[in-house]
Amino acid sequence: MLRVAINGYGNLGRGVEQAITKNADMEVAVVFTRRDPATVTTQGAPVAHVDDMAAWADKVDVCLNCGGSATDLIEQTPAAATLFNTVDSFDTHARIPEHFAAVDAAAKASGHVALISAGWDPGLFSMLRVLGEAVLPDGATTTFWGPGVSQGHSDALRRIEGVLDAKQYTRPVEATVAAVKAGDDVELTTRSMHTRDCYVVAEEGADRARIEREIVEMPNYFADYDTTVTFITAEELAAEHAGIPHGGSVIRRGHTSAGVAETVSFELQLDSNPEFTGSVLVATARAVARLAARGETGARTVFDVTLADLSPTSPEELRAHYL
Ligand code: NDP
């Protein structure tokens, strides 16, 4: 039985816990939190404060770091890698080289394996981008995100004066997705690829025209997209927008000879982004335990694990039934 620690108990931490209920070869040994453990209720696993992590070094095989990418994981993963084999879902793409180097140093020094940036993007989508390019070198890869909730954009809406609560959905432009799959000559711009739909609960008496203007003109977040703003009540937000769905697609379109085109596409439709991301982290934990058992140390990414290492099924069974 693989003994897993969950480090950080937010949406993703709970998603990992739920994913482990579907994996018979693993159990949650402990949940670590920076909060008072008495205030955190799990599905059954004990809760310990992060300051007491060292006491669990011999009782945990892999620690899944579930903090936020913005500020948590940069510190959380190197710290945890001094004690455990680890996996995280670090998704700040521009800072991945820097994060990898820090984690690699910590993991090598302590003799552990620490896999960073697992999940679906980065994660499964990254694997498909590499596979597509390897198989179809003469081509182009396009990634679309959504339909799904963007936590960062929802936060940006909530910071606007007069906004009580909000949810933002990113949606791929279907006509553009179809054109990419068909190999049509379509211009790929921020605006032509995705739209943004905002559902906003405004304070009573707030100037809705001003709020809408501030949203659609917000640089980096909304100004470069076709953005719709819909004002709804707090009750409607709770009833109709409580979930955290997401998804997207990676499309590789290439030519194997003149006029001969091949298209590979990989698509996700997720009712729950954290439960799916948690499921990827759990499979990755299995692979990390196997890498560590073979004596490997240092930082790794999804590019370094084999499909056989991710699978609970034996290599013999895989060869017999999956090839
Ligand atoms: P949350 O904001 O829900 O949780 C982040 C941390 O905040 C938790 O680990 C927890 O730490 C703390 N926290 C959670 N709830 C509370 C609370 N009620 N009060 C105080 N603190 C709380 O983030 P998510 O779990 O939704 O996302 C984590 C990261 O996962 C994201 O930043 C994103 O980068 C990444 N991600 C990656 C994906 C991929 O495909 N690679 C896909 C989806 C997400 P503690 O218990 O220590 O207090």
Query: Shortest CA distance to 37 belongs to which of 46, 48, 50?
Result: 48
Centre of ligand 1 to C-alpha 180, Å, is 33
Residue 65 annotated as part of some ligand binding site: no
| Contact by Cβ (8 Å): 113, 295 | no
Q: How many domains does the chain have?
A: 2
Query: Is residue 99 over pLDDT 90?
Result: yes
256 and 283 within one domain: no
Centre of ligand 1 to C-alpha 263, Å, is 35
Return the residue whose CA atom lies nearest to atom 20 of ligand 1.
Answer: 35
Q: Atom of ligand 1 at shortest distance to CA of 68?
A: 32
- Start-end of H helices in the chain: 11-20, 72-81, 96-110, 124-135, 151-158, 174-182, 190-193, 208-216, 234-240, 273-293, 307-310, 315-321
Centre of ligand 1 to C-alpha 82, Å, is 21
The CATH code of the domain that includes 148 is: 3.30.360.10
2 and 112 within one domain: yes
pLDDT tens sequence across 17-48 = 999 999 999 999 999 999 999 999 999 999 99
295 and 264 within one domain: no
Q: How far apart are CA 43 and CA 20, in angstroms?
A: 11
Does the interface ipTM go beyond 0.90?
yes
pTM for the whole structure: 0.95
136 and 234 within one domain: yes
Domain hosting 255: range is 128-270
Q: Is the CB of 225 under 6 A from ligand 1?
A: no
165 and 146 within one domain: yes
Q: Is the CB of 8 under 6 A from ligand 1?
A: yes
* Predicted local distance difference test score (pLDDT) of residue 160: 97
* Predicted local distance difference test score (pLDDT) of residue 185: 87
228 and 191 within one domain: yes
14 and 103 within one domain: yes
Q: Is the CB of 139 under 6 A from ligand 1?
A: no
5 and 86 within one domain: yes
259 and 295 within one domain: no
Q: How far apart are CA 166 and CA 154, in angstroms?
A: 6
pLDDT tens sequence across 74-97 = 999 999 999 999 999 999 999 999
